[in-house]
Amino acid sequence: MLSGKRVLITGGAGFIGTHLSRVLLEENEVVIFDTLRRNALQHSGLDRHPRLTLVRGDVLDAAAVTRAISGCTHVVHLASIAGVDTVIQNPVPTMQVALLGTSHVLEAARACAGIERVIHFSTSEVFGRFAFNAREGDVTSLGAVGEARWTYAVSKLAAEHLAYTYFKQYGLPTLSVRPFNIFGPMQIGEGAVHHFILRALRGETLRVHNDGSQIRSWCYIDDVMQVLQLALTRPAAVGHSFNIGNPRSTVTIYNLAREIVRLAGSASPIEFVPWPHPDIELRVPNIDKARELLDFRPEVDLEDGLRRTIDWYRTQQQRGDGGGH
């Protein structure tokens, strides 16, 4: 466990950042730097925590990033434009935030005395449409030029290279993580689990793209918190990229929807809708590297994680708070 440190989390008001803040605030100070366009923090009860500083700002503002990082010892760079629909509609900001924003964070970290670790969040989409048992050293895919879907993966991959070169050239202690389909309570935005649970609890139709045969491995948020704490503290993590996921929890999107309907006790029908854009057909990680260097052992299987998540959203619904949209 990290202790007695000051951690900057860019994009920290989002789903992963809010969970990470809760864990780190037990023994550290946390600075959240976020535009608050997506705000999971409001569902956490952390906004008045005495060791939490919330700074509203944009990673495209280099001066604001420099001010936010002052006095920090660790950086977790989560800020990005996220969600397939949002990315497709906003390809330019998507690339600007990933490329320029990451550059601003890395440069500010290099200029800040006492930085012990910088974690850059990349994406599993760097492996392209088909990734089975994908290892960190496997060939990554850039996607077709002109297809907006791939702007997210391309810019994230470039930012991953940039983080690594800051380690090699300047000695900045960086590493990158590639999350594979994270889910859990307080998720906001366009994620399939979030979308399916909300609609199942309301008795509404669950909409599945095309025939729902796309395959994903799902990783519960508590397991992600485990590995991030290890990445923040273990010297062996520096200079590497890590796949973060749970290959045991692999299922088609259609069967994920069916499972959520069952676990929620819902009567929601499932509807297949055309999806005209490129999609990820197969995404299953190999996590041997994280297991060997970080002792990462995902513990929460899919059914258990879905039950916990459904219970949280049901409680929010009963309180009159949908838990995000």
Reading the block at residue 76, the tokens are 């977790």
Cβ-proximal residues to 64 (8 Å cutoff; 6+ apart), any chain: 33, 55, 57, 58
Q: Which residues share a beta bridge with 119?
A: 76, 175
Bridge-based pairing of strands 215-217 and 250-252 is antiparallel
> What is the distance of C-alpha 40 from the center of its chain?
13
Contact 215, 180 (CB under 8 A): no
- Answer yes or no: 152 catalytic: yes
Give the pairing type, strands 174-179 and 206-209. unpaired
User: Catalytic residue numbers?
Assistant: 152
